[in-house]
Amino acid sequence: MTDSPAFRPEPRTPRGFQDRRARDLRVEREILAQVSAVYEQYGFEALDTSAFEYADALGKFLPDSDRPNEGVFALQDDDEQWMALRYDLTAPLARFAAQHWETLPKPFRRYAYGPVWRNEKPGPGRFREFIQCDADTVGSARPEADAEIVALAVAGLEAAGLPRGTAVLKLNNRKLLNGLLSAAGVADDHQKLAVLRAVDKLDRLGADGVRLLLGEGRKDESGAFTKGAGLNARGIEAVLAFVAAGGGSRTDVLARIADVIGGSAEGDEGLADLSRIDVALKGLGVAEDQAVFDPSIVRGLEYYTGAVFEAELLLDTVDEKGERLRFGSIGGGGRYDDLVARFTGERTPATGFSFGVSRLAAALRAAGREPGHQARGPVVIIAFSEADMAHYFEVAGELRGAGIAAEVYLGSSGMKAQMKYADRRMSPAAVMLGGDEIAAGTVTVKDLDLGRALAAKVTDNQTWRGERPGQATIRRAELVAFVRRIIEG
């Protein structure tokens, strides 16, 4: 009898998922902290729903089959009910609002953040798990509720690290799009979908490419042919005039849109909604360059019922190889008045905005504006002797008590390796406490921040360097103040 070799699984991250270390977590947490503070200033209540929802409550991605496995990660409970990991934060909100509507303040204003999961094919920058951050108002049909969500999004993105001029909120209205489709003579839902998909490709294909897709169709560079929407010449020009109506003040855009779709009952209602949103945005202090009306914005073809929003990054961005990268949309939302009705049968107005925290962090990094780009490690106390461990832990406790992160090195390496460890931890300083220092009531502190700065050739500020000795032996009572100067410096 021979022993079979023990099975050793290969250490690997599942496809579409990622491990994140302190740097990424620090950036995301800082973004969430700043944005949450803005949301609470606007009077939005924090809400955290469970990771799992019953599959029938999600609905959006579920196929017509016995096992709901398309788009979501699902499992069957012991009571034979299917549960699935949430794919966004809005569907759980709709369930929560329907379940607790009688006891909620109305309108109900909530913000939420957390991971969501999508059972989709992963790709570059496309993960199966990511963090979203949402703010929604449920129970108000007023266009002013949409305007406040836009103002909230503008303020939130600025707080996250995108000051004025680096991002813009673009607005459209599904009612305008429906009015446009009527004016263009669209006959059925299939043709309607083809028109909206063509409009959505305006940035990539330009007006000439969209014109082909609105008509008979378009052949791309590879020779592949995409069948068009089949509009006549008059309908095509009406659609192109509509999407070209953007630019200039919000009032000017509304006037140009009215020339194209005026007279359509639903289109006129959409114009009235955007006019009220414009008035509210002015009252909220949202300038013309921060939120613009853009008729080419097409989102959630079957989801949104009124205003739609899209946040676009305006900064130049580069990838890890230094090549130019276009991020485009970094968030979006709009009015969805039919979602809660899935549970109650009664239409309940709702509007909201969502952005992907990980995507926003990646955009800030690509633009060179990543907040807290280095995750600071703890002060490391070098361990020289087993016999003096109590002294090392006493120093660590003293620093921690003063609010300074600290740790005693607990490996088995020597002095050189311990200093390398502290450097890899991005420690601001290393504390050395040998037998002589213990006897004399002193400690030696090495300024690791200064060492990294000098290694990066930051040598032009002579005064700064003169005031920051690379290593100093000080009285034990001065330790906390000395280390704090290094950290704050």
Q: How far apart are CA 252 and CA 74, in angstroms?
A: 49
What's the rounded mean pLDDT across residues 179-204? Answer: 83
Asked if the model's pLDDT at residue 453 lies above 50, the reply is yes
Encode pLDDT of 197-229 as tens digits: 888 888 888 889 999 999 999 988 888 888 988
Q: What confidence tier does 465 reach under pLDDT thresholds 50, 70, 90? A: very low
- The whole-number pLDDT of residue 64 equals 43
Q: Find the helix packing angle between 265-283 and 174-183, rounded to 10°.
A: 150
Q: How far apart are CA 39 and CA 424, in angstroms?
A: 36
What's the rounded mean pLDDT across residues 71-84? Answer: 90
Percent above pLDDT 90 for the chain: 56
Q: What confidence tier does 115 reach under pLDDT thresholds 50, 70, 90? A: very high
Highest mean pLDDT among 2-11, 23-32, 82-91, 115-124 belongs to: 82-91
Encode pLDDT of 385-407 as tens digits: 999 999 999 999 999 999 999 99
Q: How far apart are CA 132 and CA 332, in angstroms?
A: 11
Strand partners, 123: 126
- The whole-number pLDDT of residue 442 equals 95
Top CATH class of 22-51+86-185+231-366 equals alpha beta
Residue type, 25: L
**Domain pair 22-51+86-185+231-366 / 379-488, same fold:** no
Give the CATH number of domain 379-488; options: 3.30.1330.10, 3.50.30.60, 3.40.50.800, 3.20.20.450: 3.40.50.800
Q: Which residue has the higher pLDDT, 203 or 275?
A: 275
- The whole-number pLDDT of residue 372 equals 53
Q: What confidence tier does 63 reach under pLDDT thresholds 50, 70, 90? A: very low
Contact assessment for residue 293 and residue 274, using Cβ atoms and an 8 Å cutoff: yes
Domain ranges of the chain: 22-51+86-185+231-366, 379-488
Give 316-322's long-range contacts (Cβ < 8 A, gap of 24+).
316/367, 317/363, 317/366, 317/367, 318/366, 319/366
Asked if the model's pLDDT at residue 373 lies above 60, the reply is no
Q: Which residue has the higher pLDDT, 156 or 5?
A: 156
What's the rounded mean pLDDT across residues 274-279? Answer: 97
Q: What confidence tier does 96 reach under pLDDT thresholds 50, 70, 90? A: very high
- The whole-number pLDDT of residue 139 equals 96
- The whole-number pLDDT of residue 26 equals 86
Asked if the model's pLDDT at residue 60 lies above 70, the reply is no
- The whole-number pLDDT of residue 432 equals 95
Across the chain, which distance is largest between two alpha carbons, in Å? 94
Asked if the model's pLDDT at residue 371 lies above 70, the reply is no
Q: What confidence tier does 454 reach under pLDDT thresholds 50, 70, 90? A: confident
Contact assessment for residue 351 and residue 146, using Cβ atoms and an 8 Å cutoff: yes
- The whole-number pLDDT of residue 268 equals 92
Encode pLDDT of 132-163 as tens digits: 999 999 999 999 999 999 999 999 999 998 88
Percent above pLDDT 70 for the chain: 90
Q: How far apart are CA 197 and CA 213, in angstroms?
A: 9
